[in-house]
Structure 1
């Protein structure tokens, strides 16, 4: 199953999934223009999926609905997403064309953030990034850690479709935390080559993230020790390790 990342703004990706008829699924269209250009005069999309309310994820919906009125818009239960036609919550199944996705609640970045998992794909918005995770604007460290654990438990061959091209910067932080990790070293080298060639680093595989992403490795002794050294205090739980890592990353400069 091939998901296409459409670049938008400085570093966003809008995800596009097409079936054999040319009809598409559109995920987190912060800007209508890249989607309109990609779909051209083809058939209307099956649906639009939204993960959370931030403008760089929903700002293009009205433009797409102006072009294709009546397109279903699936979104979490959040009054800040006025364009939604169908509200979803954890455990729901979304049927889009021949595709099926399960909704996962992943609060932390925002209070109502959801992800969509199915067809070997994970559309996770700003919760999980390659080698990183989203900032906590509305949630707690414990919530975000639990949300990431929920995603990390999915099958390892899941293709992770994040919403931002942050991987190169995330790699620098991950190496500061876990410099002796050979899987991370190899991944960082591959990322540098991809970006030097102007290629996206996404989607990534979930098993690669479990091996390399420090935010999914809070129980690993090396990650725990690095977070504890930086925090300058004892960290009693994996959630505390996560919170210390996120605070470290917030002020990190490569």
Structure 2
């Protein structure tokens, strides 16, 4: 097998949560561009079906959008059942859906804290559990969690204990599931992004501080997770499990 062939996703089927915008949208396009059929889950996007049609036409693969709140286990089971009925067995799961809120820990709203964990941690596990059970029966599959550099090191100047704690849990869950399923054909890894320009931050003291703190001196572009996602989804990473891929411009090194 040639080196490039190892990265092909032709004939594979993928699910991406939070796939209608930002990093998830870019990874949907990357998977489709590598040959995969793609189902993406969204929670609130009037353009989701149009996005799926656009990806299908551009890359000549099947792509469909499915609405569901991943923080509710029953809704995850329902939407996953629909996807399996439409696509058949799934080879790749990218658990990308997540939310982020900042605020001082001493006054942080506890209901909001719980909601962040419901989406970022519990939602990721609900998806991995449903897909993982079926991958284990086939003895093949790749699960990729989108964690964060904030789950590994303290970040400044924003106050994000809730988000950081949730992403730390995702990183630990990655290691635990990878260890549990390592001999059963299912690989589990995480991508841990640094500061990415998923929204127009503008030039302000906070973004200037982020750039100064990042050795490469800039924020990441939304499509700069794609290489890691394709690598971890493909046969090129067949001996990689339990890894955390930092795509952060060196932020975690300094």
TM bucket (normalised to shorter chain) is 0.3 to 0.5
Higher helix share: 2
RCO (CA 8 Å, sep 6+): is it higher in 1 or 2?
2
TM-score (norm: length of structure 2):
0.38
TM-score (norm: length of structure 1):
0.38
Higher strand share: 1
